[in-house]
Structure 1
Amino acid sequence: MAETVSATDVTVDDLAAARERLRQAEAAIDDYGEDEAHRVAEAYGDATDLLAAYEDSATGSGDFAAYVEFQERFVTLVEDLPDDLPTRESFEEANDLLDRRRLSEKHFEQARDLLAPAREAVDALEEREAAHEHLRETRQAVRRRLSTLDEEIAHRERLLDLAAADLDAPTERLRDPIEAYNADVTDAFDRFRREAPARDLLDLIATTTAYPLVDFARPPESLRAYLDEASLGTEPLPTLLEYAGYSRSKLDHYVDDPGRFRTQAATHETYLTRLDATPLTVGWPPPEAGELRRFAEELVAVVARFADESVVARVRRVRDLALRDDYDRLRQSAVARDELSDTERDRLASGTVREELDDLRAERDGLRSALDDGGA
């Protein structure tokens, strides 16, 4: 069975050792010759199979016919071996040992000992197979380690990029307009959700499929069709959710078709409950300038459908933030403040991150070179 190689601490030396193990295993086979090693291993297997098959029946005062049959088969096996077969003499010695009037278990064990030189060919073949597998697993461990190193290097490179940011930059110039818009659009959407007919609310959500950056979950078509047809569709969403908690008998007083209501509105209660303004808000730190501009342009089109002009004006101001000459600098500062922990800032200030990066790059370069040199 091949050893399990850990990708956590695999080294260039591990790879070199795995290759040397295989080289030595192949050299052991070369001492026999490929074909000869397999012939010796096959003969050894046949001989030990005979020993195992007749050890009980051909020993002591057991079955005389089995004893004769065993001796004849073992003699035939040895006589049929090529004269130049490596370790042939070990088979002959075992045959001489077993050529006696009475056999005991001791003789079978001694015969196995005499066949030990032939067993070495079997061991050599098995070791070569194990060495191949070990080298394969070591190479795989190196590749996994390289993947981890790439991630760790990218993380430290990211930290160094963030360290270059101006942490004292006035990020409130971005945060204040974004927070003001987020608060207003959340209020406006909550009011629309609370007061507008449920069918109008779902119609609004459906229109956002034309605006891929406004990431609302698409309303179920069957639910929209139901609300478009049923008089209940003129009720606001909170009323529908309230009805969803009523018993069947109580629903009879409020809904024309309680069964269909439960099939549609009540079945999609989780979807309806989760509808909120989150897809209409701008996250913090904000996205890169191009993405913010595209997102805000889509927001203008969607927000104008349910909110008053003051909210639309706020989202336009957010869109215009992306046009500021200092947007990238302010955003980078915001990202750095958000992502860098106190510990990471200390490690950056002390030079630890740079040292770690150099060490990780050196390890990666060494493993890559070792892997390439071996034809992996």
Structure 2
Amino acid sequence: MSTGSDHDDAAAELEAAHERVRELEQSLELDEADLDAVADAYESVATVLDRWEERATDWDDFEGYVEFRNDISETLESVPEDVPESEAFLEADGHVKTSGVTGSLKTRDFEAAREALAPAREYAETREELADARSRHREAYRAARDRLNELEDRIDDLERLVRLGEADLDAPIEELREPIERYNDGVADDFAAFRQDASAREFLSFVATAAEYPLVEFRRPPTELLEYVRERPAGEHSVPDLVEYADYSPSKLSHYVDDANLLKRRVATNRTYLDGLSADPLFVEWPPAEAETLRFQAEELVSLVDRFADEETVAALRAVRELTRRKEYERLQTAAVARSELEDDERTRIENGTVESELEVAREERERLDEAISSYEPA
């Protein structure tokens, strides 16, 4: 992960971008409505000059000259009379008129027209510069917000390492591990027996119910499969039997179900899902979660596991739930996480004070970013 030194300038860049916009706005000689008017007028006239210069300076292309004059006249008529630097537009127009049908415009006439437009062009350049500065300000603001989010994650990680570094690594974590392993082993065996012996209708209905529990990560059965086992007689067979039947030929399968082709469509196409159903979502992970999370998870699991597991497994799960109410649970849980998750290099960084130092730097940068984001938000 990036260190604070990689991004120390995020707050400073935001402040600088804000100040640049403020300086440009304060240096404006016109209000922005007038600035837009003169800049728009300049860009319109400059576009006409660029578009027609080649034809209007061609001695043999009188039609091109006429079309140019029509275009430039219409463009100038659209410019408000009170536009700033209005004289510049009149002067530019004068440079690109001929004295009669025998006259001809030269490249130098267009150059003179552009030179006459210089005062208006300066306003157009100012507007572009201001627009660019505002764009950079918005980009700097987004970058600062992104960096702040990154810092929040980094601080969370560093604070976690600090907590783990304070763990009692000699704590008797077996007091947590043994009940959890006893429950996990029991529910694995009971779930396997449930899958083997229960009807597909009962088994998949259980899975569908379990999928509604937020802390139990079963995936709901596909709708057509669930409807099939609930509504058709084939749902009275177990899931392993249905999976086996799906490999039979239609003639052989007709001895077991009333619609061989329908079974193949519903079961064979969902075989990967069925083969993947295991007790894993019912396990309590190691190292265990914090007390409140594990307690909520265990309460959900009890209401589910009680539907198919034997009494010993349910009792083991209740024992796991009771662990979360013990005063020493937090100490044991933190020790379990530290022993399971801390890498050697992380232990070294904790012991030599690097983590604390990095955390202090990250918090200081976060404070600067918070202040900059609050103070320099784009308009």
Task: Say whether residues 1:117 and 2:119 are aligned partners.
Answer: yes
Distance in 2 separating the partners of 1:290 and 1:36: 63
Deviation string, structure 1 residues 196-253 (Cα, Å, up to 9, x no partner): 4444434554665786655544456765665467664454332221111222233234
* CA shift for structure 1 position 291: 4.1
Contact 2:242 2:267 in 1 (8 A): yes
TM-score normalized with structure 2 length: 0.80
Q: Which residue of structure 2 lines up, in the alignment, with residue 61 of structure 1? A: 59
Q: Which residue of structure 1 lines up, in the alignment, with residue 311 of structure 2? A: 309
Distance 1:10 1:70, change over 3 A: same
Q: Name which of structure 1's ranges 194-203 and 130-139 shifts more when overlaid on structure 2.
A: 194-203
Q: Which residue of structure 2 lines up, in the alignment, with residue 129 of structure 1? A: 131
Q: Which residue of structure 1 lines up, in the alignment, with residue 268 of structure 2? A: 266
Distance 1:107 1:287, change over 3 A: same
* CA shift for structure 1 position 135: 1.2
Contact 1:81 1:88 in 2 (8 A): no
Q: Name which of structure 1's ranges 356-365 and 227-236 shifts more when overlaid on structure 2.
A: 227-236
Read off the aligned partner of 2:326 and give its amino acid letter: R
Instruction: Specify the SS of the correspondent of 2:28.
Output: helix
Read off the aligned partner of 2:15 and give its amino acid letter: A
Deviation string, structure 1 residues 61-87 (Cα, Å, up to 9, x no partner): 335576588679979969x99699548
Read off the aligned partner of 1:248 and give its amino acid letter: P
Q: Name which of structure 1's ranges 330-339 and 312-321 shifts more when overlaid on structure 2.
A: 312-321
Q: Name which of structure 1's ranges 355-364 and 336-345 shifts more when overlaid on structure 2.
A: 336-345
* CA shift for structure 1 position 146: 1.4
5 Å-filtered alignment, 1:163-182, equals: 163-182=165-184
Contact 1:285 1:338 in 2 (8 A): yes
* CA shift for structure 1 position 303: 3.8
Distance in 2 separating the partners of 1:221 and 1:60: 75
Q: Which residue of structure 1 lines up, in the alignment, with residue 195 of structure 2? A: 193
Read off the aligned partner of 1:361 and give its amino acid letter: R
Deviation string, structure 1 residues 235-293 (Cα, Å, up to 9, x no partner): 43322211112222332343332133224433443333222222332111123334434
Instruction: Specify the SS of the correspondent of 1:11.
Output: helix
Q: Which residue of structure 2 lines up, in the alignment, with residue 14 of structure 1? A: 13
Distance in 1 separating the partners of 2:68 and 2:55: 9
TM-score normalized with structure 1 length: 0.80
Q: Which residue of structure 1 lines up, in the alignment, with residue 330 of structure 2? A: 328
Q: Which residue of structure 1 lines up, in the alignment, with residue 46 of structure 2? A: 48
* CA shift for structure 1 position 175: 0.6
Q: Name which of structure 1's ranges 320-329 and 32-41 shifts more when overlaid on structure 2.
A: 32-41
Contact 1:58 1:70 in 2 (8 A): yes
* CA shift for structure 1 position 49: 4.5
Distance in 2 separating the partners of 1:206 and 1:72: 75
Read off the aligned partner of 1:146 and give its amino acid letter: L
Q: Which residue of structure 2 lines up, in the alignment, with residue 4 of structure 1? A: none
Contact 1:41 1:121 in 2 (8 A): yes
Instruction: Specify the SS of the correspondent of 2:350.
Output: helix
Note the residue ranges of structure 2 that are not aligned, 5 or more in a row. 1-5
Q: Which residue of structure 1 lines up, in the alignment, with residue 284 of structure 2? A: 282
Note the residue ranges of structure 1 that are not aligned, 5 or more in a row. 1-6
Distance 1:118 1:322, change over 3 A: closer
Read off the aligned partner of 2:238 and give its amino acid letter: P
Contact 2:14 2:372 in 1 (8 A): yes
Distance in 2 separating the partners of 1:210 and 1:64: 80
Q: Which residue of structure 2 lines up, in the alignment, with residue 92 of structure 1? A: 91
Q: Which residue of structure 1 lines up, in the alignment, with residue 249 of structure 2? A: 247
Contact 2:188 2:279 in 1 (8 A): yes
